[in-house]
Chain A
Amino acid sequence: MARQHREAIIEPELPIIDPHHHLWDRLNYRYLFPELLADVGSGHNIRSTCYEQVREMYRAAGPEELKSLGETEFVSGVAAMSESGRYGPTRCIAGIIGFVDLQLGSRAKGVLEQHVAVSNGRLRGIRNGSTWSDDPTLKTFTAGAPKGLLPDKSFREGFAALAPLGLAFDGWMFQTQLDDLVDLARAFPQTTIVLNHVGGPLAIGPYAGKREEAFTEWRNRIRKIAALPNTYVKLGGLGMKMIGFTFYENPEPPSSQDLEKAWRPYIETCIEASARNARCSRAISRWTKAPAAIRSCGTPSSASPPATRPTRRSRSSVARQQRRIAWRCELVPLIVRVTRV
Chain B
Amino acid sequence: MQTQAPSRHLPIRKDWLAATQEPALEPDRQIIDPHHHLWDRPGNRYLLHDLVEDLSSGHNIRATVFLECREMYRAEGPPELRSLGETTFVAGVAAMSESGKYGPARACAGIIGNVDFRIGSRAKGILEQHIVASGGRFRGIRNGATWHADPSLRVFTSGAGEGLYLDRSWREGFAALAPLNLSFEAWMFHSQLGDLVDLARAFPETKIVLNHVGGALGVGPYADKRKEVFADWSTQIAKLGQFPNVYIKLGGLGMPSLSGFEMGRQDSAPSSEQLAQAWRPYLDTCIAAFGPDRSMFESNFPVDKGMCSYANLWNAFKRVAESYSQDEKNALFHNTALKFYRLW
Contacts and interface: CB of A to CB of B under 8 A. Distances in A.
B74 interface: yes
Nearest to B89: A80
Interface string B68-79: 000111111000
Contacts of A58: 99
Interface in B109-163: 132-133, 135
A224 B74 CA distance: 44
Given A25-B101, A59-B98, A70-B99, A86 B93 contact: no
Contacts of A61: 98, 100
Give the interface residue-count category, chain B: 20 to 34
Interface of B: 1, 40, 71-76, 84-86, 88-96, 98-101, 132-133, 135
Interface string A112-155: 00000110100000000000000000000000000000000000
A71 B89 CA distance: 13
A60 interface: yes
Contact of B88 (A80, A85, A86): A80
A83 B74 CA distance: 5
Interface string A84-102: 1110000000000000000
Contacts of A60: 98-100
Contact of B95 (A70, A85, A120): A70
Given A83-B72, A84-B71, A118-B91, 5 more contacts: A57-B95, A58-B99, A73-B95, A80-B89, A81-B72
Nearest to A70: B95
B74 A77 contact: no
A300 to B, nearest CB: 44
Contacts of B90: 77
Interface residues of A, number: 26
Nearest to B99: A57
A15 to B, nearest CB: 19
Among B73, B75, B98, the one with the most A-chain Cβ atoms within 10 Å of its Cβ is B98
B127 to A, nearest CB: 15
Contacts of A86: 1, 40, 72, 75
B73 to A, nearest CB: 6
B75 A83 contact: yes
A338 interface: no
Contact of B72 (A74, A84, A118, A120): A84
A78 interface: yes
Contacts of B98: 57, 59-61, 70
Nearest to B1: A86
A77 B88 contact: yes
A73 B97 CA distance: 11
A120 B130 CA distance: 10
B89 A77 contact: yes
